[in-house]
Amino acid sequence: MTTTSTHRLRRAAAAAGTGFAVVSAFQALLAAGVPLGRAAYGGASAELPDTLRMASGVATAFWLVAAAVVLRRGGYRVRWIPEQIAKVGTWALVGLLTAGTLMNLASPSPWERFGWAPIIAALAALCLTVARGQRQAAH
């Protein structure tokens, strides 16, 4: 693998990891009760009910783990994620994010259609780049 390809793979992984950190921060705000519900879960209400706030708490952790998975697959030193988990997990994220893009496009919430759909589509494309990439094992 060329140095240029390695750098491209690492940049895609870093961009995806950063994107997942942003999504995680948004979910943390929802879990904390910040009235951003119009941009999530179909946009039914600004303030989320307790069950959706709990779901956002779980999502906060999930997206941080997703960041670690993609970073590991991209060649960063994330030792607590096994390489095989990173390989399979990155492909799973491609599927999940593709489905998420379609769901956001179908949402009645303009925030989800015009805000989250393009962001999630970009994350899907970045994860696809990382998943397809070949690299040397991280040390």
The predicted structure's pLDDT at residue 2: 66
Mean pLDDT (10-residue bins), the chain, 139 residues: 84 98 98 96 94 98 99 97 97 99 97 97 99 68
Q: Which residues contact 22 (CB under 8 A, 6 or more apart)?
A: 119
Give the Cα separation of 71 and 65 in Å (integer): 10
Q: Do the beta carbons of residue 23 and residue 62 sit within 8 Å?
A: no
Predicted TM-score (pTM) of the model is 0.92
Q: Do the beta carbons of residue 63 and residue 20 sit within 8 Å?
A: yes
